[in-house]
Copies of this chain bind each other. A is one copy, B any other.
Amino acid sequence: MTPASTPSPETSAASAAETSAGRRGRRGGGRAARQATRAQQGGASAAFITRKIPTFDPFDEEQLATIEANAETVLADIGIEFRDDPETLDIWRAAGAKIDGQRVRFEKGMLREIIQNSAPKQFTQYARNPARSVEIGGPHCVMVPAYGPPFIRSQAEGRRYATIEDFRNFVKLAYLSPGLHHSGGTLCEPVDLPVNKRHLDMVYSHIRYSDKPFMGSVTAPERAEDTVEICKRVFGADFVDQNCVVINLINANSPMVWDDTMLGALKVYARNNQATVISPFILAGAMSPVTVAGTLAQILAEAMSGVALTQLVRPGAPVVFGTFASSISMQSGAPTFGTPEPTLVLYGAAQLARRLGVPFRSGGGLCASKVPDAQAAYEAANTLQNAALAGVNFMLHAAGWLEGGLAMGYEKFVMDADQCAMIARLLEGPDLSENGQGLDALREVGPGAHFLGCAHTQANFEDAFYRSPLADNNSFEQWQADGAKDISARAAESVANLLASYEAPAIPVEVDEAVRDFVAQRKAATPDSNV
Contacts and interface: CB of A to CB of B under 8 A. Distances in A.
Contacts of A379: 471
Given A378-B377, A466-B341, A472 B370 contact: yes
Contacts of A369: 471-472, 486-487
Contact of A290 (B407, B438, B475): B438
A331 B467 contact: yes
Nearest to A66: B432
A520 interface: no
A272 interface: no
Interface in A67-109: 67, 70, 73-74, 77-81, 103
Given A293-B437, A294-B439, A432 B63 contact: yes
Interface stretch (A194-202, A353-361, A452-460): A452-460
Interface stretch (A239-247, A273-281, A418-426, A522-530): A418-426
Interface string A248-279: 00000101110000000000000000000000
Most buried by B among A257, A291, A330, A369: A291
Interface stretch (A2-10, A25-33, A34-42, A443-451): A443-451
A12 interface: no
B370 A291 contact: no
A380 B471 CA distance: 13
Interface residues of A, number: 128
Interface stretch (A53-61, A170-178, A492-500): A53-61
A192 to B, nearest CB: 20
Interface stretch (A123-131, A215-223, A382-390): A382-390
A488 interface: yes
Most buried by B among A327, A373, A386: A373
A341 B435 CA distance: 15
A64 to B, nearest CB: 10
A134 to B, nearest CB: 21
Most buried by B among A290, A372, A431, A460: A290
A341 B422 CA distance: 9
A179 to B, nearest CB: 12
A322 interface: no
Contact of A293 (B431, B445, B475): B431
A368 B471 contact: yes
Contacts of A404: 473
A405 to B, nearest CB: 12
Given A289-B457, A290-B438, 12 more contacts: A73-B439, A74-B442, A285-B465, A290-B465, A292-B430, A330-B465, A335-B473, A341-B465, A343-B426, A368-B471, A374-B377, A374-B488
A368 B343 CA distance: 26
7 contacts: A81-B448, A286-B450, A289-B442, A290-B456, A339-B422, A373-B487, A376-B377
